[in-house]
């Protein structure tokens, strides 16, 4: 995992004034993470390991911070929502018996979705690497402005149907359009760079919705965002003013909560910290090497 101090070079000195707490968690491992496939907007559920990771994330938040989430933000994708509910069941003792009590805490938005990987969705990362070589593979996968080959429409995984025959993969290849009925279809992407994710949806959503919620938190409260690797990379780039070059080196592990303290202007007052640093380091290394093993 990269040296965080290299990334976070615009920090203010730690203030004695109360700060506001933001916890970011990438969803637990999905079935396609486990299979080494590009996932993006394909609505793939958690693997068994992912369910355990989400449960452990909740335990870490409970044991390491004792913070109480006043709002829990997720994407429209099942792996994000499922992880959030597992975390909630760990944080709130009566959640499983009285989930309705906590319904108002959950806020879902497609603007927190994973990056749309276009026509790469559903393809094996190792096979794509073999076909296009490491330079283009890493440009598509990790560069700030790298746009993958576009899908034919926002509601499909593009060329996947012509290249993938496994029915277990094909059943997730079409985006669940019912979830997006209230969304202007012209807004939905067919493929995105990280820059597009940040500038067209994550940054505006954070500034308009999450930021006011975060700045309204009090002592022992926090905002919890359970989202995706690209969503979290976007937020870290935005909050910490990470360079385009350094953001390529940032890998977000699944199911590992990180804590950010911000001041009254929503400026971070210190480096973000993983609640399980050693576990996060191992998880980030695993993400970094996807496709190469």
Strand order across the beta sheet in which 273-274 lies: 106-108, 68-74, 221-227, 20-26, 258-262, 273-274
Give catalytic status of residue 228 as yes or no: no
Give catalytic status of residue 207 as yes or no: no
Is 95 flagged in the annotation as binding? no
- What is the three-class DSSP state of 74? strand
Q: Quick one: residue 255, left, alpha or beta (phi over 0 = left, psi -120 to 50 = alpha)?
A: left
Is 201 flagged in the annotation as binding? no
Is 114 flagged in the annotation as binding? yes
Report the chain's C-alpha Rg in angstroms.
Answer: 18
Is 30 flagged in the annotation as binding? yes
Report whether 25 contacts 272 (CB < 8 A).
no
Is 115 flagged in the annotation as binding? yes
Is 154 flagged in the annotation as binding? no
Report whether 158 contacts 118 (CB < 8 A).
yes
Catalytic residue among 20, 114, 192, 228: 114
Picking from 113, 115, 129, the residue whose alpha carbon sits closest to that of residue 191 is 115
Is 140 flagged in the annotation as binding? no
Is 144 flagged in the annotation as binding? no
Report whether 226 contacts 23 (CB < 8 A).
no
Distances from the Cα of 173 to the Cα of 40, 127, 160, angstroms: 10, 18, 7
Eight-state DSSP code of residue 71? E
The tokens describing 26, both together, are 């990438």
Catalytic residue among 27, 53, 82, 228: 27
Is 32 flagged in the annotation as binding? yes
Is 185 flagged in the annotation as binding? no
List active site positions: 27, 114
Annotated binding site: 26-33, 79, 114-117, 125, 141-142
Q: Output the known binding site for substrate.
A: 26-33, 79, 114-117, 125, 141-142
């Amino acid at each position: 995992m990269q040296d965080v101090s290299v990334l976070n070079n615009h920090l203010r000195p730690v203030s004695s004034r109360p700060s506001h707490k933001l916890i970011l968690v990438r969803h637990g491992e999905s079935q396609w993470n486990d299979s080494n496939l590009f996932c993006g907007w394909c609505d793939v559920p958690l693997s068994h390991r992912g369910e355990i990771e989400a449960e452990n994330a909740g335990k870490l938040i409970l044991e390491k911070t004792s913070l109480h989430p006043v709002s829990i933000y997720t994407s429209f994708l099942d792996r994000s929502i499922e992880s959030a509910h597992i975390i909630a069941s760990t944080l709130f003792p009566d959640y499983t018996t009285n989930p309705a009590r906590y319904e108002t805490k959950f806020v879902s938005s497609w603007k927190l979705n994973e990056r749309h990987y276009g026509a790469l969705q559903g393809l094996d990362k190792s096979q794509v690497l073999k076909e296009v070589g490491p330079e283009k593979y890493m440009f598509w996968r990790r560069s700030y402005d790298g746009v993958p080959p576009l899908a034919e429409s926002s509601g499909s995984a593009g060329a996947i149907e012509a290249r993938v025959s496994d029915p277990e993969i094909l059943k997730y290849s079409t985006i669940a359009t019912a979830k997006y009925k209230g969304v202007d279809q012209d807004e939905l992407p067919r493929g995105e760079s990280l820059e597009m994710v940040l500038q067209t949806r994550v940054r505006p959503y954070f500034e308009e919705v999450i930021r006011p919620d975060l700045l309204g938190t009090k002592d022992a409260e926090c905002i919890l965002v359970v989202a995706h690797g690209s969503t979290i990379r976007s937020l870290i780039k935005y909050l910490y003013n990470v360079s385009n070059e350094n953001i390529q080196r940032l890998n977000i592990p699944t199911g590992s909560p990180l804590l950010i303290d911000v001041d009254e202007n929503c400026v971070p007052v210190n480096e973000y910290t993983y609640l399980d640093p050693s576990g996060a380091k191992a998880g980030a290394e695993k993400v970094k090497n996807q496709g190469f093993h």
